[in-house]
Amino acid sequence: MKKLALLIFLFLTSCTQNPARDIDKTKVSDNAPPKVTPYKTGVDISKDIINGPEVMPTPEVLPTEVEIARFETKYSVTPDGRDENIQLACKTIDGTVIEAGGTFSFNDVVGERTKERGYKKAKMFLNGERVTGYGGGVCQVSSTIYNAALLANFEIIERHAHPKPIDYLPPGKDATVNFGTMDLKFKNNRPNPVRIECKSD
C-alpha cells in the first residue's frame, strides 16, 4: 500500500531585531564640541552624527509556517494507472498557496484530466456509473484534500459525494470531482495565506 498525505501550512511572520552596535556616547566636555569615545581610542565621531536622527535597528522579517491540518489515505499500485493519476494530480497541487480570503478550486488547480496531460485510463464514476476514463483515481486526491480542509476549519463552498460507497474513506467523507461539472472548492477564511503540501509515496 502507498500513502497519500495532504498537509496544510499557515504562513506566519516573526520579527527579530538585528543587534545594534553599542557605542559609548559620553561627551568629553559640556562646552567642547560633542564627541564620542568608541571602543577604539583616538577616533572621534562628528557632531552631525551625534545630533542626527536616531537610527533604529531594522527589523528582519522571517517567514515561518505552522502546520494546521494533516490527513492521509492509502492506495494500491494498479495496472490500470490509477496510482499514476493520483501522483500526477498530487504533484500539480503540491505547493499551491491560497491567499487570505482566497478560494481553492480543485479543477482550476489540477486542470482537465486528459491523455495529453499525462493521465491514464482507470476506473471512475461518471453519471452515477462506474466506467473507465482518463484521470480515474484523482477523486482520492480531492477527497483527501476535503478532509484536510475540514480539519483546518475552512469554509466548504462546493463538494459532491460519490454516487456509491468508496473503499478508502467512510460515507460522508469523500469529495468526487469531474472537470466541468463537479468541483471541490473551499475558502481560506484565515487572516494569513496557507500553503498546501501534497505528497504521495
pTM across the whole model = 0.74
Give pLDDT, residue 16.
36
Q: Is 178 helix (H, G, I), strand (E, B) or coil?
A: strand
Give pLDDT, residue 90.
96
Give pLDDT, residue 82.
94
Give pLDDT, residue 63.
62
Q: Measured between alpha carbons, how far is 102 from 134 in angstroms, rounded to an integer?
A: 29
Give pLDDT, residue 43.
45
pLDDT along the chain (201 residues), means of 10: 90 48 36 42 46 50 81 90 95 96 98 97 85 93 97 97 92 95 97 94 82
**E strands present in the chain:** 2-17, 59-75, 97-98, 103-105, 121-126, 129-134, 155-158, 185-187, 194-200
Give pLDDT, residue 28.
36
Q: Which residues contact 134 (CB under 8 A, 6 or more apart)?
A: 113, 114, 115, 119, 120, 121
Q: Which of 198, 87, 184, 176 is nearest to 124 (CA)?
A: 176
Q: What is the DSSP letter of 18?
A: P
Q: What is the DSSP letter of 182?
A: B
Cell of 167: 473503499
